[in-house]
Amino acid sequence: MAKWGEGDARWQVADMGEGGRNVNNWHWTEKDALPWCRERLTEMLGSADLAPGSGLGVRATGVKSCAGEAVVNNRKNKIIAAYELSVVLGWEGSVADGTSVTGEVRLPYISEENHDEDPEMQVATSSEGPAAQQLKAAILGSGKKVVHGAVAVFVKELRAGGPMRSGAAQPKAAPAKSVDAAVGQAAQGAAAAAPAAAAANGAAAGQQAEKEAAAAAAKKEAAAASSGHSIELKERFFAGAAELFECFTVPPRMMAYTQSPAEAEPQPGGKFSLYGGSVQGVFREVAPNQRILMDWRFSNWEDGSFSRVELRFEEPDRGNTLVTLKQTGIPDADRFGHHDVVGTVEAGWRQQVFDRIRRLTIHAQACRPAAPAAGRGAAARRPAAAAPRDVRARASQGDVEDAIASNPLFNSQFMGVLRDSLARQGSESLMRNAQAQGPRTSATEEVLTTALAQSKQTLQQLVVWREQIDRQIAAQQKQVDRMEFALNKSRGDAAYLRALKEMMHGDM
Q: What is the tens place of the pLDDT at every residue in 328-379? A: 999 988 888 888 899 899 999 999 999 999 988 876 665 555 455 444 444 4
Average pLDDT over residues 220-240: 74
Cβ–Cβ under 8 Å, residues 161 and 29: no
**CATH number attached to the domain at 17-172+185-224:** 3.15.10.20
pLDDT at 58 over 80: yes
Q: Are strands 291-298 and 279-287 parallel, antiparallel or unpaired?
A: antiparallel
pLDDT at 425 over 60: no
**SS3 readout for 404-436:** HHHCCCCCHHHHHHHHHHHHHHHHHHHHHHHHH
22 burial (CB, 10 Å; 0-12 / 13-18 / 19+) is: middle
Q: From residue 374, give the alpha-carbon distance in Å to each of 64, 422, 449.
A: 71, 15, 21
pLDDT band of residue 475 (cuts 50, 70, 90) is confident
16-30, 116-130, 146-160, 410-424: the lowest-pLDDT one = 410-424
So what's the pLDDT on residue 14? Answer: 62
Cβ–Cβ under 8 Å, residues 165 and 198: yes
Cβ–Cβ under 8 Å, residues 149 and 101: no
Spatial strand order of the sheet with 263-264 comes to 229-237, 320-330, 307-317, 291-298, 279-287, 271-274, 263-264
Question: pLDDT averaged over the chain?
Answer: 76
Average pLDDT over residues 216-241: 72
Q: What is the tens place of the pLDDT at every residue in 285-342? A: 999 999 999 999 999 999 889 999 999 999 998 889 999 999 999 998 888 888 889 9
- Please state, in angstroms and rounded to a whole number, the distance separating the CA atoms of residues 486 and 491: 9
Q: Hey, which residues does 274 pair with through a beta bridge?
A: 279
Neighbours of 37 (CB within 10 A): 24
So what's the pLDDT on residue 291? Answer: 96
Q: From residue 206, give the alpha-carbon distance in Å to each of 32, 82, 156.
A: 22, 19, 7
Q: What is the tens place of the pLDDT at every residue in 248-260? A: 999 999 999 998 9
The single-letter DSSP state of residue 49 is B
The single-letter DSSP state of residue 283 is E
pLDDT at 177 over 90: no
Average pLDDT over residues 392-419: 52
Average pLDDT over residues 381-404: 46
pTM of the model as a whole: 0.35
Cβ–Cβ under 8 Å, residues 360 and 257: yes
Of 202-216, 407-421, 483-497, the range with the highest mean pLDDT is: 483-497
- The domain made up of 227-362 is a member of CATH 3.30.530.20: yes
Helices (H), 46-167: 130-138, 144-159
Average pLDDT over residues 193-209: 57
So what's the pLDDT on residue 160? Answer: 85
Q: Which residues contact 287 (CB under 8 A, 6 or more apart)?
A: none
How large a percentage of the chain has pLDDT more than 70?
64
So what's the pLDDT on residue 60? Answer: 92
Q: Check residues 18 and 381 and name the one with the higher pLDDT.
A: 18
- Please state, in angstroms and rounded to a whole number, the distance separating the CA atoms of residues 100 and 83: 36
* Domain residue extents for the chain: 17-172+185-224, 227-362, 379-440
So what's the pLDDT on residue 412? Answer: 56
